Chain A
Amino acid sequence: AQTVTQSQPEMSVQEAETVTLSCTYDTSESDYYLFWYKQPPSRQMILVIRQEAYKQQNATENRFSVNFQKAAKSFSLKISDSQLGDAAMYFCAYRTNYGGSQGNLIFGKGTKLSVKP
């Protein structure tokens, strides 16, 4: 069974600085997707960035980028130029690409990010 581990329950970053959130996962599969979701306080969960396992190039979305190390089963999220609005719970999630999963996600326990002005 696949597992997702986020080893940092809480992180803090100064506004305009850069922060990296860690995520490791365990799987025997080679074809899968990885996601970072953001859940601001009292607001809905939204997708930040996704990475397909077969793509070697790290995904980037504006200030958000990932460092995907497939052999190491590591999928960290880097937030550059942190803004107050980035304060949220961040969840790393895994999704198999093999038949039968029906899109089910396996979530890590989350990292609570605080941004200091």
Chain B
Amino acid sequence: DAMVIQNPRYQVTQFGKPVTLSCSQTLNHNVMYWYQQKSSQAPKLLFHYYDKDFNNEADTPDNFQSRRPNTSFCFLDIRSPGLGDAAMYLCATSRVGAHTSGSNKGPYEQYFGPGTRLTVT
């Protein structure tokens, strides 16, 4: 089945120790998103890739970086995790039309992975 896969499901890292979370997809979607979700809160968009174009949200800390080496894979790098970065990290994908005027129609719902629960000790 086509799907969004996140590895690992649970990750424990030490304060200040870099960590990388992985997302892969078999849906061949052109957009991949990374969200941070803290307990009982809505997902907060960190950034997304539209094909190879990286789009950072204005309030995403510099501590968070992302890489997308190919269509199928996307990585979230946290350079120096702090205690406040402990959260569930969700990857999502979507097939979006060209973002020129008048051609961005369609539901383009997002398909989510199961998430990676990050603990910072």
Interface residues of A (CB under 8 A from B): 31, 33, 35, 37, 43-47, 50, 52, 89, 91, 95, 97-105, 107-110, 112
Contacts and interface: CB of A to CB of B under 8 A. Distances in A.
Secondary structure type dominating chain A contacts: loop
Given A50-B109, A103-B31, A105-B110, A91 B99 contact: no
Interface of B: 31, 33, 40-43, 45, 48, 50, 55, 90, 92, 94, 96, 99-115
B39 to A, nearest CB: 11
Given A107-B43, A110-B41, A102 B109 contact: no
A89 B100 CA distance: 34
A6 to B, nearest CB: 9
Contact of A99 (B40, B92, B101, B106): B101
Contacts of A109: 41-42
B105 to A, nearest CB: 6
A95 B108 contact: yes
B110 A103 contact: yes
A112 B107 contact: no
Contacts of B31: 102-103
A78 to B, nearest CB: 20
A98 B106 CA distance: 10
Contacts of B96: 102-103
A38 to B, nearest CB: 11
5 contacts: A33-B109, A43-B114, A44-B90, A98-B104, A100-B99
A89 B33 CA distance: 20
